[in-house]
Homo-oligomer: A and B are copies of this chain.
């Protein structure tokens, strides 16, 4: 199954919302907020503060990454969401999305990417994914999401 990464289109919305639910990584509150951001970004484009890239497999959107400039910083960006439909996981799609986003951020003058994820054992695969991609732990906030669920902060420098 070949997958290509491209910009997002408004008609990707239903596929992306479906992937958010199907991937099983997010609570209903997280899905709701992610959908709000999708709606803003699909309508307003980068003016929304968010930029989306979509993994297109067999003509449909199978996952996406959402990044945006970090307010009040000169050249820091955040990775807000990354999500891949379960049928397309374990095929390098997440890695392709991440790398595409990094190149796009660097091309836009961004010098580093910051992201937050959970410290729970069930999120170990996500943390390994980021660490293998060159992200370093820059912080850990105990019990941030809820008791027993720390926030782990990662940063990757894109330029020397």
B-binding residues in A (CB < 8 A): 27, 29-30, 33, 70-76, 111-112, 114, 138-147, 153, 155, 157
Contacts and interface: CB of A to CB of B under 8 A. Distances in A.
A145 B72 contact: yes
19 contacts: A33-B71, A72-B145, A73-B146, A74-B146, A76-B145, A111-B143, A112-B141, A112-B144, A114-B144, A138-B140, A138-B142, A139-B139, A139-B140, A139-B141, A139-B153, A141-B155, A142-B155, A144-B155, A153-B153
Copy count, this protein chain: 2
Contact of A139 (B27, B72, B138, B146): B138
A140 B153 CA distance: 9
Contact of A146 (B75, B138, B146, B147): B75
A145 B74 contact: yes
Contacts of A153: 139, 141, 153
Contacts of A76: 141, 144-145
B138 A33 contact: no
A27 B71 CA distance: 12
A147 B159 CA distance: 12
A9 to B, nearest CB: 27
A141 B144 CA distance: 18
Contacts of A145: 72-74, 76
